[in-house]
């Protein structure tokens, strides 16, 4: 009887190994070989225009009173004089004060339009880091085959590469097959009111775009372990954003005869509970897409795992959860960001508050997360409420099979040989999250390779990236049928 059981077990094991190996060896690459247009020149003018764009301090400050409109007006004048033919041919509107919307009429009115997005604003240089920069952050310096400065990677490379390309094509009397909108917000770094207004305007005009392309993913040679080829990560969804305020009110009093449990104790316990009871990890749709796209290109062990996620789910999730970025890809994250209580060293405070920030996986709506948080804390003394209505739900997921995804993936492969394209989940927030009603196919991707210093010191992008971006936009715009 026992012998029979072991025989049965052996057969099951062999079948399992057979299925796993079969899946691994038949896990075929979904990358297409394509032929490309010749790469564009990085002429002196093309370089100078990017350098000059960086000299405008189009900064979005946390404190709105610091907003310097003259920098934005200057930048927009610069665009006008640098790209005159674009401004003759395309219709330009100013939205919400300083955001720009251009319309380039397409040849075929039966085809749905596309929207190319980028933002004009940049983040400030922190006072404490000013002296740590190798170059003047607004000097537009070219050094060691990189273009240096605030806004190079985020996001002036896209504004300028798009404008350069449109100017070139308009000068040839080229007209795109579809109508193309260019949407350049002016306050992406502080919430994107400009993008909200542009999206509203397009919606009012009944414009349903075939796809929207905005920043989000990049190309990388370094960031995906196990891969020898470069990878282009196309954001097909964006995590949601929620901040909750936890408030505890209790008997205060003199610190010489404290209560058994104070407001601070109760709050600390709640925060500790939240951190020690994280949301369960899971594969979102972009993560499944990533495994399907990258798996066939990986070394044997990873390929076997990605080919059989039904069996190796725990192992894959375990590996991802080891790094902060990996963990953020597979989980709704929880982190306290502000804590306040107390005014004097010998007074026990009556009120203690904390703000906890959550980034929501696709499908995890804020209402449900709030309920789950209350259940996790399980303490009626802790009041849980959303902070300032600063909530954005996780985005819908753009299908990999959509025209937009396929077109952009193919264009990337034509602009950067050997690159593997893959969907992925964008962890941060972009302006395109406001465009859900303009298109159900939103792709978040900047055609640059391993940019450095995003939002930080010595922000820079390689000349190779700039060239790739120009090549990418030219091939995309020429082939929008």
378 part of the active site: no
List the beta bridge partners of residue 217. 445
Question: Judged by CB, which is closer to Zn ion: 415, or 432?
Answer: 432
Contact code string over 212-241 relative to Zn ion, x by CB under 5 A:
---x--------------------------
DSSP string, 214-233: EEEEEEESSSSTT-SS-EEE
**Which span (95-103, 138-146, 210-218, 404-412) binds Zn ion, by CB under 5 A?**
210-218
Question: In angstroms, what CA-CA distances link 231 with 294, 311, 385, 421?
Answer: 8, 26, 41, 6
What is the residue whose two structure tokens read 């049965």?
8
Rounded to the nearest whole angstrom, what is the least distance from the CB of residue 449 to Zn ion in the complex?
Answer: 17
Our finding on whether 187 is near Zn ion (CB under 5 A) is no
Cβ closest to Zn ion, residue 215 vs residue 297: 215
Contacts of residues 40-45 at CB distance under 8 Å and 24 or more positions apart, as own/partner, are 40/168, 40/467, 40/470, 40/471, 40/474, 42/463, 42/466, 42/467, 42/470
Q: What is the smallest separation between the CB atom of 314 and Zn ion, expressed in angstroms?
A: 35
| Binding-site string for Zn ion from residue 241 to residue 280, where x marks contact by CB under 5 A and - marks none | ----------------------------------------
96 versus 155: smaller Cβ distance to Zn ion: 155
Burial class (CB in 10 A: 0-12, 13-18, 19+), 29: exposed
Query: Could you tell me which stretch among 149-157, 237-245, 254-262, 330-338 binds Zn ion (CB under 5 A)?
Result: 149-157
What is the closest distance, in whole angstroms, from the C-beta atom of residue 146 to Zn ion in the complex? 19
d(CA 351, CA 368): 27
155 lies in the binding site for Zn ion (CB under 5 A): yes
Nearest Cα to Cα of residue 396 among 428, 358, 447, 432: 432
Sole residue written with tokens 């090549």 = 471
Measured from the Cβ of residue 18, the count of other Cβ atoms closer than 10 Å reads: 10
Question: For residue 398, how many C-alpha atoms fall within 13 Å in the half-sphere facing its CB?
Answer: 35
Q: Which of residues 67-126 bind Zn ion (CB under 5 A)?
A: none
Tell me the closest approach of the beta carbon of residue 237 to Zn ion, in angstroms: 17
DSSP lists the bridge partners of residue 203 as none
Whether 155 is catalytic:
no
For 248, counting Cβ atoms within 10 Å of its Cβ (0-12 exposed, 13-18 middle, 19+ buried), the class is buried
Token pair of 110, please?
A: 């039966």
Check residue 297 for interaction with Zn ion (CB under 5 A). no
Residue 343: other Cβ atoms inside 10 A:
6
Number of residues that bind Zn ion (CB under 5 A): 3
CB of 419 to Zn ion, least distance (A): 22
Active-site option among 121, 155, 189, 285: 121
Smallest distance from Zn ion to CB 270, Å: 34
Which CB sits closer to Zn ion, 214 or 474?
A: 214
Lay out the site mask for Zn ion across 316-355 (x = CB under 5 A, - = otherwise): ----------------------------------------
Q: Does 154 bind Zn ion (CB under 5 A)?
A: yes
Stretch that binds Zn ion, among 64-72, 148-156, 235-243, 259-267 (CB under 5 A): 148-156
Other CB atoms within 10 A of residue 320 CB: 18
Residue of 96, 155, 188, 297 marked active site? 188
User: Helix H segments across 26-89?
Assistant: 44-54, 69-82, 84-89
Our finding on whether 474 is near Zn ion (CB under 5 A) is no
Contact 368, 394 (CB under 8 A): no
Q: What is the nearest approach in angstroms of Zn ion to the Cβ of residue 119?
A: 6
**Residues at the contact surface with Zn ion, assessed by CB under 5 A:** 154-155, 215
The residues that are catalytic are 121, 188
């Amino acid at each position: 009887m026992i012998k029979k059981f072991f025989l049965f077990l052996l057969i099951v094991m062999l079948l399992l190994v057979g299925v796993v190996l079969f899946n691994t060896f038949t896990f075929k690459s979904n990358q297409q070989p394509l032929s490309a247009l010749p790469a564009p020149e990085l002429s002196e003018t093309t370089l100078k225009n990017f350098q000059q764009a960086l000299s405008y301090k189009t900064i979005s400050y946390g404190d709105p009173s610091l907003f310097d409109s003259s920098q934005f007006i200057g930048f927009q004048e610069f665009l006008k004089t640098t790209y005159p033919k674009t401004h003759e041919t395309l219709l330009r509107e100013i939205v919400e004060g300083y955001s720009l919307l251009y319309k380039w009429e397409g040849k075929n009115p039966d085809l749905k339009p596309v929207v190319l997005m980028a933002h004009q604003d940049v983040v400030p240089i922190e006072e404490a880091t000013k002296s740590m920069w190798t170059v003047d952050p607004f000097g537009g310096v070219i050094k060691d085959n990189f273009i240096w400065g605030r806004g190079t990677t985020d996001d002036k490379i896209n504004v300028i590469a798009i404008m350069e390309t449109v100017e070139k094509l308009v000068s040839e009397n080229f007209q795109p097959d579809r109508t193309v909108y260019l949407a350049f917000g002016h306050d992406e770094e502080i919430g994107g009111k400009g993008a909200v207004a542009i999206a509203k305007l397009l919606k009012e005009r009944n414009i349903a775009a075939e796809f929207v392309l905005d920043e989000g993913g990049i190309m990388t040679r370094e960031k995906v372990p196990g891969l020898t080829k470069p990878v282009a990560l196309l954001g097909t969804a964006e995590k949601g954003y929620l901040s909750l305020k936890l408030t505890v009110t209790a008997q205060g009093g003199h610190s010489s005869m404290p209560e058994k449990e104070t407001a601070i104790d109760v709050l600390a316990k709640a925060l500790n509970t939240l951190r020690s009871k994280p949301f369960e990890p899971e594969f979102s749709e972009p993560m499944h897409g990533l495994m399907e796209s990258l798996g066939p290109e990986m070394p044997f062990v990873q390929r076997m795992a990605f080919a059989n996620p039904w069996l190796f789910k725990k192992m894959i999730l375990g590996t991802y959860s080891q790094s902060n970025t990996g963990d953020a890809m597979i989980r709704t994250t929880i982190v306290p960001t502000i804590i306040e209580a107390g005014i004097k060293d010998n007074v026990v405070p009556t009120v203690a508050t904390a703000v906890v920030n959550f980034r929501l996986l696709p499908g995890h709506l804020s209402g449900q997360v709030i309920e789950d948080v209350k259940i996790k804390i399980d303490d009626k003394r802790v009041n849980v409420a959303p902070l300032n209505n600063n909530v954005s739900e996780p985005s819908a997921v753009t299908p990999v099979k959509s025209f937009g995804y396929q077109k952009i993936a193919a264009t990337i492969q034509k602009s950067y040989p050997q690159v593997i394209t893959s969907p992925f989940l964008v962890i941060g927030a972009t302006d395109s999250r406001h465009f859900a009603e303009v298109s159900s196919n939103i792709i978040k991707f900047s055609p640059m390779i391993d940019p450095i210093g995003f939002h930080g010191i010595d922000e820079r992008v390689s000349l190779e990236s700039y060239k790739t971006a120009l090549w990418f936009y030219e091939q995309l715009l020429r082939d929008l049928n």
